[in-house]
Structures are given as structure tokens and as C-alpha cells.
Structure 1
């Protein structure tokens, strides 16, 4: 690896670390300020929590969509389309369809 690659990787990871660190520390300060003012602790539990099953279902349907995209991309490449276009477009299309299906499945399971 040359020095440019090392420098770019260092910048990327330090930026990600900085963003996550700032998010967590500002959230902690905000919560401490609310607690000091006497706010109820239920304020922190207002968001919808995802269950482990929902996350696994989303990942599984995304993986199925990507697999179908690779398969369709290979078929399009055999049909004469350029491989970069065939694989890239079909992976994104079928991956997005997999995520869209996971939204509807999760919504149906929630009811």
C-alpha cells in the first residue's frame, strides 16, 4: 500500500469515529440536561424498537434480492448487454425490491 491509500483510509475511519463520537456525546449531554430539569425518563423510550427477527428478515430479503440481481445481471450479460451495466443495474433494482418487500412483510407481521 502506498502512503495515499493509508492516508485516505485514516481520514475515512477518523471521520466516521468523530461523527459517531459526537452523536453519542451530544445525546448523552441532552439526556443529562433533561434529567436535571426533572423530565420523565419515558421521554427516551418514544421511538419504535426493531426486533431481532425484523432485522434478520430485512437482511435476508435484501440478500435474496441481491442474489436475484446477480442472476438477472448474468442473463443480461449473456444477452449482449455490457457486464458493468447489467450487473450494477440489476443488483440495485433487485436489492431495492427486496427492501421494499421487507417493508410490506414487516408491516403485515406487525398487524
Structure 2
């Protein structure tokens, strides 16, 4: 019974988020039309040289590489140091994805958006 309730709750949350997003967006656009304001902020720019999905894919791949590298470093901490086993894994699993995301930030800045 619990998995059914969880699935229904998850679906209701996702539906509610999308419903509120589209309803609010529609109200904002209608208010701009009623007040004769410029609605050019809603137009999608086509002059981007690299799409947004490339940035997301770059950051996702760097995070996954950071997690794998974190497991490797954690294993090395466990084998060659006197640190607590859990402490080495936890520290490396928080530090390395963060470092790889920082690298992704600098790589994204070099891309032409």
C-alpha cells in the first residue's frame, strides 16, 4: 500500500509543479498583453553557439566522474592512511564532485553561450 501512496504523491507533486509553472506563465503573458508591454523577453534566442543541453551534459558527466574519482580516493584513504574508513569515503565523495563541478564552471565559461 505504501508504494502506491508514494507513487501517487510523487505524480501529484510533479503535476502540481508543472501546472503552477504554466498557469503563472500564462497569467504573466496575458498581463503583458493587456498593458501593451513588450513581450520580447519570452522569445527564445537562436543565436547561441552552444545549446543548454551541452552545458547540462558536461556538468552531469563531470559530477559522475567526480563520484567515481571520489570512490577511488576513498579506497586509497582506507588502504594507506589511518583515517576512519567512513570518513575517507565521505570526505572524498563530497570533495571530488564539488571540485569537478568547479572545473565544469570554468569549462562552461569558455564555451560560447
If the length of structure 2 is used for normalisation, what is the TM-score? 0.72
Distance verdict in 2 for CA 1:7–1:32, change over 3 Å: same
Higher helix fraction (1 or 2): 1
Aligned to 1:40: 38
Shift of 1:20: 2.4
Aligned to 1:18: 16
If the length of structure 1 is used for normalisation, what is the TM-score? 0.73
Root-mean-square deviation over aligned CA pairs: 2.7
Shift of 1:41: 2.5
Aligned to 1:82: 85
Partner deviation per Cα, 1:56-80 (whole Å, 9 max, x = no partner): 2212222221111111122223345
Shift of 1:101: 0.9
* 3-state secondary structure, aligned to 2:30: helix
- Is 2:68 the counterpart of 1:70? no
* 3-state secondary structure, aligned to 2:111: helix
| Unaligned runs of at least 5 residues, structure 1 | none
Distance in 1 (alpha carbons) for counterparts of 2:57 and 2:15: 26
Distance in 2 (alpha carbons) for counterparts of 1:98 and 1:92: 11
Distance in 1 (alpha carbons) for counterparts of 2:103 and 2:44: 26
Greater RCO structure (CA 8 Å; 6+ sep):
2
Q: How many residues align?
A: 107
